[in-house]
C-alpha cells in the first residue's frame, strides 16, 4: 500500500527529476518482484523430510527409511569421537509435521538417531553408533514411496564374494557357473497373492541347482551370489562372476504382471527392445519406472560395451536356448496354454557388465494364483532346478549329454504341501 502511494505522488509531479525517480522506482520495484518470485519458486522446490522409521530389525541387520516429499540428492559420511554415520539431504527442509516413528528398543548397532536442519538448505540425519561396532552400510534412493533406505549389517552377513573365490585355484578344468538368485534382504521382489516372496522361491531353486550340480556333475563348480536372505546391489552380482572368472552367469527370477492370467516361462538375454511387455519386466527387475526404462534407449553404448563382441552375444543366445528348452518341459498340466513364452531380449542391469555369456530366467508368474501354488511346491521347484542343471550341462557339451536328470511329474497342488519357504527375515 505504501509503495502504491509513493508511486502515485511521483507520477503527479511532471518534472524530469520526478520522471527519473519514477524510472529508478520502477526498476527497483521490478527487481523486488523478480527476487520475490525466485525466492517463492526456490522455496517450492525444496524437498521436505517428513519422517524416519525402522522397517526391519534383527541381530544381523537393521533397515531404516527416511520419507521424502520428492527426490533429492544426498551425501553420506562417517565421523569419529563419537563414531557416527551421517546423511546430508541436499536442498531440503525438515517438515513441520516431521514424524520420528522409531520405537525405543535395543538396536544391535545404534545408540540413537538425530535429525536436524544442518544449514538452510540441508537436513542432516545422524546415526550414532555403539562402541566397538563397525557395520557395513548400504544406502540407496527408493521411488515408491520416495525415500532413502539405509541398511546396516554385520560383518557376518556381508556379501560373501570373498568366500566364493577362495577355492578358485583348485581345478582349472572345472567350468564355473555363477547363479544369481534375484532380490533378497529388504527387497522381496514380486509378492504373490498368498504372500509368496520371489526372493525366497529363486533362492531355493538356486540352492537346489547347486546341490544337483555338485552331486551329479563334478566337473562344474557352482557359485551363488547369495546363499542366504541378504541384499546385494545389481552391479555387485556380475562383479562376483567376473572376479571368479566364471564361464556362465545365470540370474534367476520369478515374473509378475498386472494381468493375473499371465503365466509361463520366458528367458532373456541382454539387449535393447521396443517390446512393451519385455520392457515392463526389465523395469520391474531394475527397480525403475517404465518411463525411465524408455529413456535408456538413447544409451545403447551401455549395451554395446557390455556385449563386447558378437561371440559373447551368440554364446548368450545359445546358453539361453539350452536352458529354456529344458525349462518348458516342467509344464505340469497339458492344458496350460502360453507356457512357453520364448527367448526375449531386454536391458537388465544385472546382466550389464558380465564378461561371460549371461542370461536371465523368469521361471513363472508369481502373480498368477496357479503358478504361485506351483512355485510353493517342493517337487515343482526341484523339477525347475533339474531343468536348469540339464540346460547348463548340455550348453557346455559338444553333443547332448545322455546322463540327464529326469523330472518328477508327481506334483499335487494341495494345501498341506504348500509350506512357506523359510529363508525370509520379513513377515508375510
- Residues 191-212: tens digit of each pLDDT: 998 999 999 999 999 999 999 9
Residue with the larger pLDDT of the pair 156 and 393: 393
**Euclidean distance between CA atoms 251 and 241, whole angstroms:** 11
- The torsion angle over the Cα atoms of residues 417, 423, 426 and 428, rounded to 10 degrees, is -10
Question: In this predicted structure, which of 134-148, 168-182, 288-302 has the lowest mean pLDDT?
Answer: 288-302
Asked if residue 92 has pLDDT above 70, the reply is yes
Helix (H) or strand (E) holding 290: helix 290-295
- The torsion angle over the Cα atoms of residues 181, 183, 186 and 191, rounded to 10 degrees, is -100
The pLDDT-based confidence of 285 (bands split at 50, 70, 90) is low
User: CB neighbours (10 Å) of residue 136?
Assistant: 13
Query: Percent of the chain scored above 70 by pLDDT?
Result: 65
- Beta-ladder partners of 248: 177
**Euclidean distance between CA atoms 270 and 219, whole angstroms:** 27
How high is the pLDDT of residue 422?
46
**Euclidean distance between CA atoms 140 and 425, whole angstroms:** 20
- Residues 336-368: tens digit of each pLDDT: 667 899 998 877 778 877 888 999 999 999 999
Residue with the larger pLDDT of the pair 62 and 422: 62
**Euclidean distance between CA atoms 48 and 71, whole angstroms:** 10
In 3D space, the residue among 183, 143, 175, 161 whose CA is nearest the CA of residue 362 turns out to be: 183
What's the domain range around 88? 47-157
Task: With respect to residue 19, please indicate whether it lies within any of the assigned structural domains.
Answer: no
- Beta-ladder partners of 187: 184
Q: What is the DSSP string of 339-366?
A: -EEEEEEE--GGGTT-SS-EEEEEEEET
**Euclidean distance between CA atoms 169 and 247, whole angstroms:** 15
Looking at the fold, whether 71 and 185 belong to one and the same domain comes out as no
**Euclidean distance between CA atoms 160 and 1, whole angstroms:** 70
How high is the pLDDT of residue 131?
81
Looking at the fold, whether 88 and 169 belong to one and the same domain comes out as no
Task: With respect to residue 32, please indicate whether it lies within any of the assigned structural domains.
Answer: no
Residue 231 maps to which CATH number?
Answer: 3.40.630.40
Looking at the fold, whether 67 and 199 belong to one and the same domain comes out as no
Task: With respect to residue 317, please indicate whether it lies within any of the assigned structural domains.
Answer: yes
Looking at the fold, whether 146 and 179 belong to one and the same domain comes out as no
Asked if residue 118 has pLDDT above 60, the reply is yes
Task: With respect to residue 133, please indicate whether it lies within any of the assigned structural domains.
Answer: yes
The pLDDT-based confidence of 159 (bands split at 50, 70, 90) is very low
Query: Percent of the chain scored above 90 by pLDDT?
Result: 34
CA angle 393, 353, 184 (to 5 degrees): 75
Looking at the fold, whether 187 and 289 belong to one and the same domain comes out as yes
- Beta-ladder partners of 136: 153
Total domains, the chain:
2
How high is the pLDDT of residue 70?
84
Amino acid at each position: 500500500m505504501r509503495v502504491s502511494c509513493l508511486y502515485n505522488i511521483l507520477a503527479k509531479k511532471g518534472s524530469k527529476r520526478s520522471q527519473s525517480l519514477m524510472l529508478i522506482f520502477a526498476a527497483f520495484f521490478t527487481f523486488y518482484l523478480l527476487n520475490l518470485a525466485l525466492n517463492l519458486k526456490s522455496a517450492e522446490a525444496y524437498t521436505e523430510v517428513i519422517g524416519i522409521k525402522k522397517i526391519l530389525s534383527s541381530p544381523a541387520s537393521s533397515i531404516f527409511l527416511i520419507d521424502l516429499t520428492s527426490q533429492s540428492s544426498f551425501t553420506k559420511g562417517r565421523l569419529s569421537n563419537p563414531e557416527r554415520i551421517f546423511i546430508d539431504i541436499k536442498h531440503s527442509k525438515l517438515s513441520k509435521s516431521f514424524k520420528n516413528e522409531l520405537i525405543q528398543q535395543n538396536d544391535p548397532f545404534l545408540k540413537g538417531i538425530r535429525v536436524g536442519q544442518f544449514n538452510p538448505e540441508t537436513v542432516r540425519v545422524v546415526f550414532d553408533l555403539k562402541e566397538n561396532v563397525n557395520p557395513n552400510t548400504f544406502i540407496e534412493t527408493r521411488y515408491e514411496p520416495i525415500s532413502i533406505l539405509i541398511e546396516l549389517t554385520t560383518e557376518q552377513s556381508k556379501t560373501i564374494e570373498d568366500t566364493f573365490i577362495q577355492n578358485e585355484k583348485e581345478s582349472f578344468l572345472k567350468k564355473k557357473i555363477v547363479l544369481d538368485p534375484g532380490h533378497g534382504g529388504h527387497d522381496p521382489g514380486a509378492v504373490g497373492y498368498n504372500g509368496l516372496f520371489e526372493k525366497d522361491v529363486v533362492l531355493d531353486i538356486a540352492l537346489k541347482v547347486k546341490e544337483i550340480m555338485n552331486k551329479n556333475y563334478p566337473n562344474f563348480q557352482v557359485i551363488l551370489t547369495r546363499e542366504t536372505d541378504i541384499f546385494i546391489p545389481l552391479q555387485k552380482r556380475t562383479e562376483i562372476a567376473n572376479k571368479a572368472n566364471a564361464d556362465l552367469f545365470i540370474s534367476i527370477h520369478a515374473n509378475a504382471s498386472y494381468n493375473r492370467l499371465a503365466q509361463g516361462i520366458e528367458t532373456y538375454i541382454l539387449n535393447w527392445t521396443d517390446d512393451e511387455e519385455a520392457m515392463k519386466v526389465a523395469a520391474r527387475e531394475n527397480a525403475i519406472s517404465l518411463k525411465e526404462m524408455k529413456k535408456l534407449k538413447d544409451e545403447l553404448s551401455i549395451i554395446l560395451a557390455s556385449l563386447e563382441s558378437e561371440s559373447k552375444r551368440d554364446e548368450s543366445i545359445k546358453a539361453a536356448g539350452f536352458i529354456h528348452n529344458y525349462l518348458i518341459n516342467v509344464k505340469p498340466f497339458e492344458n496350460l496354454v502360453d507356457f512357453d513364452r520364448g527367448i526375449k531380449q531386454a536391458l537388465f542391469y544385472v546382466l550389464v557388465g558380465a564378461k561371460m555369456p549371461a542370461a536371465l530366467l523368469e521361471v513363472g508368474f508369481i502373480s498368477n494364483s496357479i503358478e504361485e501354488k506351483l512355485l510353493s511346491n517342493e517337487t515343482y521347484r526341484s523339477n525347475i532346478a533339474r531343468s536348469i542343471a540339464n540346460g547348463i550341462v548340455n550348453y557346455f557339451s559338444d553333443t547332448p549329454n545322455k546322463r540327464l536328470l529326469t523330472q518328477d511329474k508327481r506334483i499335487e497342488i494341495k494345501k498341506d504341501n504348500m509350506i512357506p519357504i523359510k529363508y525370509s527375515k520379513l513377515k508375510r
